[in-house]
Amino acid sequence: MSSLERQSAERIDRILDAARSLIIETNGIGFTMKDVAARANVAPATPYNLLGSKDGLLYALLSRSLDALFIGILRYRAADPLEHPVEAGAFAADMFIRDGLIHRQVLPVFFGTRDELHRPWFMHRSMTFWSHSLEAAYRQKVIPPEETERDDLARLLMITFIGAANLWVHGDLDDEELRAQVIYGFGHIMLGFAEGASRKRMLAIIKEAQLDIPKHHSFLRLVVPSTGGPARAARNAIRLESQRMSKEGSAAITPGRIAAARKSEKLATKKKKGRPRTSRT
């Protein structure tokens, strides 16, 4: 690396560090590139020159925050290679959760912004990670040879994870539910290749994960008929909050508010379930 390249890399790190600190302080991405430049102690034009735009900056921040996932070494514990993708999915979910504030703010850029500079490399590394989780199964030929010639299975794992992460970002899954949803989805994908004892273990993994998946999806909360009691009160509160946020504008609808409303609904439902049943005479 030349001296000029090294200086550019150092400046990018400073800029990304500054953006990260601003996200943590403000719990959002409403800062400007000028704010980032001032925090990083660089010229106002430098973030634009090095990263192109604010979306480019956020994409680069996301890519860097996931480096530990894509280039890290994951040691699989399961003897059955079909369980390795499930372990990889749980590992990735845990990594997202550990830095949840950053990922919940930055991932929407990945979900909703076209980026020909950062996205291709990001997607390549993602596919590499999921492909690596399948290597032992390919090597031991517990997956049919025709599957090893394409990236379809790794792509399916990636798409499943991205779908769960999208719901998590929007508050439709909490941290525990994100992990469970990934394990549940990956378990079903790999179940198609499992036989005998391997199949029994995979079914057990799926059943355990299913216990932590919400029975009713929160994004359907306003169209699912209420069952009365505390659940109805919770749903009414959510409906009123949604109407109020709509009047304030879409910017007011945040994962934090949605998660708080979901928590209220979940506690109300648990309270109702915990009541002793009265017998009819």
Assigned token pair, 165: 């992460």
The residue that leads in pLDDT, 1 or 4, is 4
Burial of 58 (0-12, 13-18, 19+ CB in 10 A): buried
The pLDDT of residue 265 is above 50: yes
Q: Which two tokens stand for residue 195?
A: 């036989």
pLDDT given at position 67: 76
Hey, where are the domains in the chain?
9-52, 71-210, 218-272
Residue 184 confidence (pLDDT): 98
Q: Where are the alpha helices (DSSP H) in 113-151?
A: 119-139, 145-148
Q: Determine what percent of the chain is predicted with pLDDT higher than 90.
A: 50
At residue 252, the pLDDT reads 47
- Does residue 82 or residue 148 have the better pLDDT? 82
CATH 1.10.10 fits 9-52, yes or no: yes
What is the pLDDT at residue 77?
92
What average pLDDT score do residues 176-193 get? 97
pLDDT of amino acid 103: 92
Q: What confidence score (pLDDT) does residue 52 get?
A: 87
Instruction: Encode pLDDT of 110-152 as tens digits.
Output: 888 777 777 888 888 889 899 999 999 999 999 988 887 789 9
Span 173-177, average pLDDT: 94
pLDDT tens string 185-230:
999 999 999 999 999 999 999 999 999 998 777 666 555 455 555 6
pLDDT for 195 equals: 96
User: Residue 71 — very low, low, confident or very high, per pLDDT cuts 50/70/90?
Assistant: low
Question: What distance in Å separates the CA atoms of residue 267 and residue 231, rounded to the nearest whole number?
Answer: 9
pTM of this prediction? Answer: 0.74
**Separation of alpha carbons 95 and 103, rounded Å:** 10
Asked if the model's pLDDT at residue 85 lies above 90, the reply is yes
B/e letters for 131-141, b = 16+ CB within 10 Å, e = fewer, are bbbbebbbeee
User: Does the pLDDT value for residue 254 go beyond 70?
Assistant: no
Mean pLDDT of the chain: 82
